[in-house]
Structure 1
Amino acid sequence: MDMEFDGATEKEAVQKAMDELKIQDFEYEIISETKKGLFKRPSVRIRVIREDDPSAFEPVERAMDEESDEEEEEFAASDTGKPENDMERDIISFVDGLSEKMEVKFVSEIVSRGNKGKINVNLKTDEGSFVIGYKGERLDAIQIITSAYVLKRYSDKNIKVVLDVDDYRQERMQKILKDSIAQAKKVKSTGRSVFLDPLNSYERRAVHKAVGDMGGLATESYGNGLLKRIKIFRA
C-alpha cells in the first residue's frame, strides 16, 4: 500500500512520515511539488518506499542507460561573441527572440565553439538570478526550447547549443559533484542507499561517472520527465 505525506516543505512532509510510521530511516520519492506563488502556498508530497511494498517504484534508468559519455571536445574562444555564419545568426536571433516572448531581458553572445559542433552561448543580463530561476529551472526551460529548435531546423548537422549565465552551470555542477561524492562516501561507510535531488540528464551523467569512479558503488536514476533522482547504493 502506498504511503503518501504532504507538507509545506520536503522536510515537513518527511517529519510527518516519521511521526506516523514511527520510523526514522526510510527511502522516499517526491511525487509532486508546488512552488510558492502570489496566490499559492508551497507544498510537497512524498511517497514512502517500503522494502516489503511490491509496488515500490522501479529504476527507469541505470548508469549505462544515460547518455553515453562524450569524448573530450576542444573549444576555441570567440573573439567577438558574435555569430560567424547564417546558421549561428539564425540561432542567436531565435534565442534573443525568446527574451521578448518570455519578458526576460538578456542578449546572447557566443563564448566558444567546439570542434565537434558544440556552441557555448552566454545570456548576458543584469537579471541573472531571474533568468536562471530556482535551481536553474528558467534557464533549463530556455535551453529546452532552444535545443528543440536547433534539432528541428538543423537535424542534418551535428550541432549542440548550450546556454549559460555567467558560468552558472559550471558552478552548479561543481556543487552537485561535491555533494554527490560526500553522499557516496556516506553510502560506502554505512551501507545505506541515498537519493539525490532531481537532476537533468547532463548533471546525472556527470554524477554517474563521478560515483562510478569511486569503486564499490552503483547508481540508478528514478522518476519521470526531464528531471530524475539518482539513487546511490553499494554495488
Structure 2
Amino acid sequence: MIKEARGFGDDIAQAQENARINLGVAPDADIQYEIISQSKKKVLGLFGGAKAEVRAFVELPDEPQKKVKMPKKDKKKKKDAAKLATDKKPAEKKKSVEVLSDEPLIDEKDLPENGKAIAAIKYLRSILENIGAKGLSFKAAEKDDNAFIQIDGEDMGVAIGRRGETLDALQYLAGLAANDAGGYFKVSLNIGDYRQKREVALKELAQKVADQVISTGRSRALEPMNPYERRIIHTAIQEIDGVVSNSVGEGVSRRVVVYSENGDMRPPRISGDRRGRDRRNGRRNDRKSNFVNSSPSREPKKDSDIPLYGKIN
C-alpha cells in the first residue's frame, strides 16, 4: 500500500519535514519526495511570494490476509479449475490498473488548451519527436487531479526502454511539466499496450515463483521493481494459497520476496557475487597466489664463502 501526503514550508527541507509529519512515519522510513514548486520570496518583503511544496510517498506493508485452509481433495479441484482458467486467460484482453476506465479517452485536439493534461502532452511530444518517434497520437482521460495519457506511434520501443524504465522516467517528467504552474496533478502514461502486457507477465511470474516456493519451501527474491509493479505482484500472491509476500530493500533496490507460509520466513541472501570470484575486486582467484612454498629460503652466497683460488682437485 502506497501512502501519499503533501507538505509546505519556507524551503524544501521544511516542506519535506512537514510532508513526513503528515505521512505519520519515522524519519528513517523509506520516503520518496517529489518537488512540486520552489519557494518564492516576496517583492520588497510585502507582495507575492509562495511557500515550497513537496509531495512525499512511502510504501507500507499490506496487512496479511488470513487464508482458509482447504482439504486436499477440494484444493486439488481448485488447482485444476485455476489451471483451466489460466489456459483461457490469454484470449482475454486485460485492462491496466493505471487506466482510468471510468473516463473516456479524449483526443488531443479536443482537450482544454490551458489544461494540465495538454501541458504534459506538449512536453512529451517535443521529447518523443526528438528521439525519432513518428506518427504520434495522444489521447487523455482526466478525473479530479489525475490524468491518464495514452500514446501511440511508430518506433516507440526506445520510449519504453528496458522493462519500462524510460516510460517511467517520461511519466515522472510529464508530471513535473503538468505541475509547472503549481499544485499537484498526477500523470500516468501508457505506450501502445505495454502496461497491459507487463501486467500479464508479472502475474505469470508471480504464479511461477509461488509454485517454486511451495515445492521447495524456500523463499525467493524477485528483481527490483517500482511501486506499481510490486503492487501487481503482491495482489497476485494474495490470491495463491500457501505463500505470502513482502517488500525488502530501499530506493531503486526495493524488491518483492515470496515466502512459504509453512517454511522459513527469513529473506534469502541477495548477492551479485559469483562462485570462484574475489568479492573485493570481482576477478577470479589466482591459484598460484595461494601456493605456499614450504622449502626454507636460502640466503645468497657471500664472497667469503667462495674459495680464493677455486676448487683444487
Question: Same fold judged by TM-score > 0.5?
Answer: yes
Q: Which residue of 2 aligns with 1:94?
A: 123
State yes or no: 1:80 paired with 2:107. yes
Which of 133, 144, 155 pairs up with 1:105? 133
TM-score by length of 2: 0.46
Q: Find the aligned partners of 1:132 and 1:225 in 2 and give their Cα distance.
A: 21
Which of 207, 214, 230 pairs up with 2:240? 214
Flag the structure with larger Rg. Answer: 2
Change (3 A) 1:142 1:108: farther
- Say which is worse superposed, 168-177 or 208-217, in terms of deviation: 208-217
Aligned length: 168
Report the Cα offset of residue 184 of structure 1.
Answer: 1.1
Q: Are 2:245 and 2:259, in contact at CA under 8 Å, matched by a contact in 1?
A: yes
For 1:105-148, what per-residue CA distance to the aligned partner results, in whole angstroms no more than 9, with x for missing partners?
A: 2635115x264554222223311222111111211211121233
Q: Which residue of 2 aligns with 1:228?
A: 254
Q: Find the aligned partners of 1:232 and 1:206 in 2 and give their Cα distance.
A: 13
Question: What is the DSSP-based 3-state SS (H/G/I as helix, E as strand, rest coil) of the residue aligned with 1:77?
Answer: coil
Q: Find the aligned partners of 1:227 and 1:104 in 2 and give their Cα distance.
A: 31
Q: Find the aligned partners of 2:148 and 2:109 in 1 and give their Cα distance.
A: 12
TM-score by length of 1: 0.60
Q: Which residue of 1 aligns with 2:158?
A: 130
Q: Are 1:177 and 1:206, in contact at CA under 8 Å, matched by a contact in 2?
A: yes
Larger RCO (CA under 8 A, 6+ residues apart): 1
Q: Find the aligned partners of 1:215 and 1:147 in 2 and give their Cα distance.
A: 38
Report the Cα offset of residue 215 of structure 1.
Answer: 3.8
Report the Cα offset of residue 154 of structure 1.
Answer: 5.0
**One-letter code aligned to 1:183:** V
State yes or no: 1:205 paired with 2:231. yes
Matched ranges for 1:52-201 at <5 A: 63-64=61-62, 74-85=101-112, 86-87=114-115, 88-99=117-128, 103-105=131-133, 107=136, 109-111=138-140, 113=141, 115=143, 117-151=145-179, 153=181, 155-156=183-184, 159-201=185-227
Q: Are 1:108 and 1:121, in contact at CA under 8 Å, matched by a contact in 2?
A: no
Q: Find the aligned partners of 1:125 and 1:73 in 2 and give their Cα distance.
A: 21
Identity among equivalent positions (%) equals 26
Question: What is the DSSP-based 3-state SS (H/G/I as helix, E as strand, rest coil) of the residue aligned with 1:76?
Answer: coil
Q: Find the aligned partners of 1:108 and 1:91 in 2 and give their Cα distance.
A: 14
Q: Find the aligned partners of 1:81 and 1:116 in 2 and give their Cα distance.
A: 18
Q: Find the aligned partners of 1:119 and 1:227 in 2 and give their Cα distance.
A: 28
Q: Please provide the CA RMSD for this pair.
A: 3.1
* Structure 2 unmatched ranges of 5 or more: 1-57, 64-96, 262-313
For 1:178-224, what per-residue CA distance to the aligned partner results, in whole angstroms no more than 9, with x for missing partners?
A: 11122112212321111112211111111111102224422222333
Q: Are 2:171 and 2:189, in contact at CA under 8 Å, matched by a contact in 1?
A: yes
**One-letter code aligned to 2:237:** V
